Amino acid sequence: MFDSVFKNYYFGLRVFAFDFVKSLDVADEIVQEVFLNLWEKHNNLQIKSSLKAYLYKCVQNYCLNYLRSDKGFKNVVQLDLIPEQSDFLLVEMSFDELDASFSEQIEIELDRAIKSLPEQCQQIFLLSRFENYSYPEIAERLGVSVSTVKTQMSRAMQKLRAIMDNYL
């Protein structure tokens, strides 16, 4: 779950930080420090805004702190510094709720991906993965060869991996 948050927000946060500090190295350091602190405090953290707003505000605070300091980056900004007024939708969400929300989103996307498979490919995939039929049982049930089942499963897995890559 943390990996997906990191993947989804790192690049945008880095660009955002760069706009402040005008150094990619410093921007990387700031964003990494925000994620490190987020990871260290995730069990006790209550986010009172959207996760995106929270991360961007943390990066902004770190950047402003860096610019104010005459010695460069100092770890003095607390992760809970979120403005009362935010341009983002305010949502109180714990990491468990975020994880559940993310899991639900993955299930929805996986269902869409499976439904996008060609009919026979979808049928073979569902029999194999959700009904636990073996390849020979699927072949017998559908009246196709075992090699057809293998080929269709391979195509299904390839297509599903490509579609679900953003979530894995």
Would residue 20 count as lying in a domain?
yes
pTM above 0.75, yes or no: no
Residue 124 belongs to what domain range? 106-167
Same domain, 110 and 162: yes
Give the long-range contacts of residues 119-127, CB within 8 A, separation 24 or more: 120/144, 120/152, 121/152, 121/155, 121/156, 121/159, 122/156, 124/149, 124/152, 124/153, 124/156, 125/152, 125/153, 125/156, 125/157, 125/160
Total domains in the fold of the chain? 2
pLDDT tens for the chain, residues 1 to 168: 667 778 888 888 888 888 888 888 898 999 999 988 888 877 776 776 677 888 888 899 898 888 887 555 444 444 444 344 333 333 444 444 444 555 566 777 788 889 999 999 999 999 998 888 999 999 999 999 999 999 999 999 998 888 776 554
CATH code where residue 150 lies: 1.10.10.10
pLDDT at 87: 36
Closest CA to 95 of 4, 30, 167: 4
Would residue 57 count as lying in a domain?
yes
CATH code where residue 42 lies: 1.10.1740
